Amino acid sequence: MSLTSNGLFSPMNRFGIHRDVLKAYSPDYANADKVECYVPTRAEVFTWPAGKLFPVLRKWFYHAPPELAPTEVQKAEVIKLLRSRQDADELDLDITALSVPS
């Protein structure tokens, strides 16, 4: 079995939160405009503009319902991915703010 066969590193993976959990939360889980708490995909974290992405991440990190609340490992994965973006230097303050527990 390859490392990517389970989709863990797929750009559409939502940091290991299973689709069934997301569907139980909301059938609209894949539409950021239709859910109260959106869990972004790896691709979205890597490509979305900061003005769209950071409000979503703050809500997920600090105000998610228990079934969607990210673990410290998931938060670290998000931060690592953010730091690998081409615009990471410009986003440093936002990334650092997410790195600090609230």
pLDDT in tens, the chain (102 residues): 233 444 556 878 999 999 999 999 999 999 999 999 999 999 999 999 999 999 999 999 999 999 999 999 999 999 999 999 999 999 999 999 998 776
What are the residues whose beta carbons fall under 8 Å from the beta carbon of 76, sequence distance 6 or more?
none
What the block records as the tokens of 94 is 């936002």
Stated length of the chain:
102
What's the pTM?
A: 0.88
| Residue 4, pLDDT score | 43
In this predicted structure, what is the pLDDT of residue 3? 38
**Burial class (CB within 10 angstroms; exposed 0-12, middle 13-18, buried 19+) of 68:** buried
